[in-house]
Amino acid sequence: MSGKSVLRVQTHYYKPVAKYDGLIDGIVSKKGNIFLDERGYFYEKYNKQFLIDNQISFVQENISKSSKGTIRGLHWQTNPKAQDKLVTCITGEIFDVAVDLRKNSKTFGTYCCQILKGNENLSLWIPKGFAHGFQAMTDDCIISYSVSGDFSKEESKTINPLCPSIGIDWPIKEKTISKNDLEALSLSDVLDQEIFF
């Protein structure tokens, strides 16, 4: 179920709104090898060496399709079912976001963003300790997520993507957001829960 989002007024903040200038430590913008010819292109999303270097093993590949303006997120899984993610836009264009949820990090509660396009061989590496979300900038966006752990309903968590204490500047103002995401709490409302890293 989805519907147009409505910005809800919050009465308190836990910290100033902050967007990190660049990519937060731990987040990596990864450019794969691309091979172009008259047929189109072929590119390598990742290889064995990437997995070795990051000490991970992907166990699942997820695909989503979204229409222009759609926001998905902000999602993550808590320990012991936390996931690393490699996010790639296959077609279209997305505004991809990672929010730092590492409580001892100097950037806790701040976000960074990266534009991912289907015609570029660029992926965003989001390790454990971050919430992830994105907004579709075009129609028929197809997104691939390589993840290092299985989905767990019990450990799956959501923060409202319109959370004012994070203050994400979503580029498209006409938003479509799922009921589950829209009704999720703000970060400032869950600070006392054992759901962070």
Quote the CA–CA distance of 92 and 156 in Å, as a whole number.
Answer: 27
> 113-168: per-residue pLDDT in tens?
999 999 888 899 999 999 999 999 999 999 999 999 999 999 999 999 999 999 99
Tell whether 170 is covered by a domain: yes
Tell whether 197 is covered by a domain: no
Tell whether 110 is covered by a domain: yes
Tell whether 194 is covered by a domain: no
Q: What is the CATH number of the domain that holds 152?
A: 2.60.120.10
Q: CB neighbours of 158 closer than 8 A, spacing ≥ 6?
A: 73, 74, 75, 180, 181, 184
CA quadruple 27, 124, 99, 83: dihedral, nearest 10: -90
Say yes or no to pLDDT of 19 above 80: no
Name the residue range of residue 147's domain. 2-188
Structure confidence at residue 4 as a pLDDT band (50, 70, 90)? very low
| pLDDT computed for residue 8 by the predictor | 31
Quote the CA–CA distance of 131 and 127 in Å, as a whole number.
Answer: 9
| pLDDT computed for residue 179 by the predictor | 96
Quote the CA–CA distance of 173 and 181 in Å, as a whole number.
Answer: 16
Tell whether 196 is covered by a domain: no
Quote the CA–CA distance of 57 and 148 in Å, as a whole number.
Answer: 6
Give the total number of structural domains in the chain.
Answer: 1
Tell whether 41 is covered by a domain: yes
C-alpha closest to that of 160 among 170, 171, 174, 151: 170
Tell whether 158 is covered by a domain: yes
The residue-averaged pLDDT of 34-60 equals: 85
Q: CB neighbours of 195 closer than 8 A, spacing ≥ 6?
A: 78, 101, 157
Active site residues: 75, 145
Tell whether 195 is covered by a domain: no
Name the more confident of 169 and 21: 169
pTM of the model: 0.85
The dihedral built from the CA positions of residue 160, 164, 166 and 168, taken in this order, carries a sign that is positive
